[in-house]
């Protein structure tokens, strides 16, 4: 009986050890070149593009970055919280705060990197003046980007909000809608694929670029450079000051990063540093 108990205890110990290793599987890895490996979850464009363009700069800082691409705004935070990622790079602060609160996650910003202009697109109209009464407009269904879309419309005068600076605004906060616009909320990634089916859609710049849209030339209206929605490098709370993560952030806010962002995206995406 004692022998069986001992075997059971040893087995449980092995399981617990394996679980602990699994929890930290994205951390404290060293590459074949002796560089500290950092796994970062990112949207394909522009985040993954920026990270890959700076690969040599990261190595010069003693870090090898492995990028895991995500085409949605949900999994990167869940994967980071679960330890499958060391960092992620895809979201702005209002979204991070709302998502972390709703999912009871303990995440923190390492710092801002760039701003992507959210914009209104249409294949049916060439200006906001042409948008007819009762037009259907697609907006993101997550609270922070949904509010951001409404703030953009309010800034253009298409609607009026109780508070035109409220980053938590919803349709219930609309106090004037002269064109009787109808709003349909979809996952942000799906708007870029569906806006042609309705009168227009408000699309995040990364998803717009992914489908070949140019926010500067193809949009009816877009955010200015004073946007409050800078995209962040994000870590688990308490780890944002880890040396390797600070090295990653140093590179992402370097002159090399600035040059790449400005030359590659021609003002559609701007450095936030």
Residues 91 and 211 in one domain: no
pTM: 0.78
Sorted by sequence, the CB contacts under 8 Å of residue 243 that are 6+ apart come out as none
Return the pLDDT at 225.
65
Residues 108 and 124 in one domain: no
Residues 111 and 235 in one domain: yes
Return the pLDDT at 18.
43
60 falls within a domain: yes
Instruction: Tell me what the mean pLDDT of segment 216-245 comes to.
Output: 92
Residues 58 and 181 in one domain: no
Read off the pLDDT of residues 232-273 as tens digits, 9 standing for 90 and up: 999 999 999 999 999 999 999 999 999 999 999 988 899 999
Instruction: Tell me what the mean pLDDT of segment 31-40 comes to.
Output: 86
pLDDT class of 166 with cuts at 50, 70, 90: very high
Closest CA to 189 of 177, 173, 206, 174: 206
Instruction: Tell me what the mean pLDDT of segment 94-110 comes to.
Output: 96
8 falls within a domain: no
Return the pLDDT at 26.
65
Q: What is the CATH number of the domain that holds 213?
A: 3.40.190.10
The token duo for 60 is 């010069």
Return the pLDDT at 227.
77
Residues 257 and 191 in one domain: no
11 falls within a domain: no
Quote the percentage of the chain above a pLDDT of 70. 88
Residues 137 and 103 in one domain: no
Residue 6 has pLDDT above 70, yes or no: no
Q: How many domains does the chain have?
A: 2
Return the pLDDT at 25.
56
Instruction: Tell me what the mean pLDDT of segment 137-144 comes to.
Output: 95
Return the pLDDT at 226.
67
Closest CA to 46 of 196, 215, 187: 215
């Amino acid at each position: 009986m004692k022998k069986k108990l001992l075997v059971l205890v040893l087995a449980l110990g092995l399981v617990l050890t394996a679980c602990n290793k699994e929890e930290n599987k994205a951390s404290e890895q060293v590459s074949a070149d002796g560089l500290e490996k950092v796994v970062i979850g990112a949207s394909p464009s522009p985040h993954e593009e920026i990270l890959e363009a700076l690969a040599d700069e990261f190595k010069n800082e003693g870090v090898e970055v492995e990028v895991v691409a995500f085409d949605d705004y949900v999994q990167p935070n869940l994967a980071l919280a679960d330890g499958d990622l060391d960092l992620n790079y895809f979201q702005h602060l209002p979204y991070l705060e709302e998502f972390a609160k709703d999912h009871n996650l303990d995440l923190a910003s390492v710092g801002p990197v760039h701003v992507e202009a959210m914009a209104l697109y249409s294949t049916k109209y060439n200006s906001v003046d042409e948008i007819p009464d009762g037009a259907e407009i697609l907006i993101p269904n997550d609270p922070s980007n949904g509010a951001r879309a409404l703030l953009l419309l309010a800034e253009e005068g298409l609607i009026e909000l109780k508070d035109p600076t409220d980053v938590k605004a919803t349709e219930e906060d609309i106090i004037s809608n002269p064109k009787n616009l109808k709003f349909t909320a979809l996952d942000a990634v799906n708007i870029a694929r569906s806006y042609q089916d309705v009168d227009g859609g408000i699309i995040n710049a990364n998803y717009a670029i992914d489908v070949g849209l140019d926010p500067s030339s193809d949009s009816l209206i877009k955010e200015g450079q004073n946007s409050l929605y800078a995209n962040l490098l994000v870590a688990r709370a308490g780890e944002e000051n880890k040396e390797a993560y600070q090295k990653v952030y140093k590179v992402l806010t370097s002159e090399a990063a600035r040059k790449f962002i400005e030359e590659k995206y021609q003002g559609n995406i701007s450095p936030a540093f």
